[in-house]
């Protein structure tokens, strides 16, 4: 990380405003690696030991991004009062405090994004962004195209009309159907409720993609870090970075 001005470091770490941080420096209350800081001094918060009134500032935790293939029968929380398995059981080796972005219910599986970047999480979950999420769903019965068409056009649930969904029949089995559906909302149990509405309850549900981020060959319970390209595309989609013309 490049060196930046001390007053900016103190401001970004919530110690004081930049103007107040300048006053702290001028008063000799800030040290860098044991030496009294001067106005205009720069430092690297990830390397240098910066103290204010003798108290060491904790180095900011780097922002990290992971995806997990959440297994069925696991709760999308870090703690469950009922004692059920949680996603925390699968991320114990990750040395950062990361949190799930959105949820997959207990009986669902698939792609779950985990990060400590609150800004990105907020952007992904905000309804205005309409981030596409794709699911592979096994439903009860042989579904007809007229029912799938209802999903494509938007279907009325108890909490209002859904946005049009992208729906594709994958295959039939003897008594059931496999369907791929992409929605742009994040209502509670939305996909399950949509299929219940057309008379085909969900038997199995797996999220396979969020925007361009795909589950791929990740096995249930496995976790991997996002590549720089995956992260760039995700941030671009939610408007956190803009491409130069």
Which residue of the set 105, 145, 147, 159 is catalytic? Answer: 105
Strand partners, 3: none
What's the Cα-to-Cα distance from 192 to each of 78, 201, 215, rounded to whole Å?
Answer: 24, 7, 20
- Rounded Cα distance between 169 and 179, Å, is 5
Classify the C-alpha dihedral 127-74-167-239 as positive or negative: positive
- Rounded Cα distance between 1 and 31, Å, is 19
Count of residues making up the chain: 245
Q: Which bin fits 105, alpha (ψ -120 to 50), beta or left (φ > 0)? A: beta
- Rounded Cα distance between 196 and 205, Å, is 13
- Give yes or no: 105 in active site: yes
Asked if 176 and 203 count as a contact pair (C-beta separation under 8 A), the reply is: yes
Phi, psi of 182 (to 5 degrees): -120, 125
- Residue 51 three-state SS: strand
Asked if 50 and 8 count as a contact pair (C-beta separation under 8 A), the reply is: no
Classify the C-alpha dihedral 55-56-60-61 as positive or negative: negative
Catalytic residue positions?
105
């Amino acid at each position: 990380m490049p060196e930046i001005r001390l007053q900016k470091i103190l401001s970004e770490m919530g110690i004081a405003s930049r103007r107040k941080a300048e006053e702290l420096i001028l008063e000799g209350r800030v040290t860098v690696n044991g030496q009294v800081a001067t106005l205009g001094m720069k430092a690297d918060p990830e390397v240098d030991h910066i103290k204010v009134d003798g108290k060491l500032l904790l180095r900011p935790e780097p922002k990290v991004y992971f995806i997990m293939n959440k297994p069925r029968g696991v709760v999308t929380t870090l703690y469950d009062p009922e004692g059920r398995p949680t996603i925390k059981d699968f991320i114990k080796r990750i040395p950062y405090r990361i949190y799930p972005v959105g949820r997959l219910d207990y009986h669902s599986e698939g792609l779950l994004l985990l990060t400590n970047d609150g800004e990105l999480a907020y952007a992904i979950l905000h309804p205005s962004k309409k981030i596409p999420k794709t699911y592979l769903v096994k439903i009860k019965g042989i579904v007809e195209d007229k029912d799938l068409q209802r999903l494509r056009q938007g279907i009325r649930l108890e909490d209002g009309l859904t946005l049009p969904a992208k729906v594709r029949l994958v295959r039939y089995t003897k008594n059931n159907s496999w369907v791929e559906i992409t929605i742009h909302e994040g209502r509670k149990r939305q996909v399950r409720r949509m299929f219940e509405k057309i008379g085909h309850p969900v038997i199995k549900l797996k999220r396979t993609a969020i925007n361009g981020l795909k589950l791929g060959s990740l096995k249930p319970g496995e976790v991997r870090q996002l590549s720089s390209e995956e992260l760039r595309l995700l941030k671009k989609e939610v408007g956190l970075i803009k491409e130069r013309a």
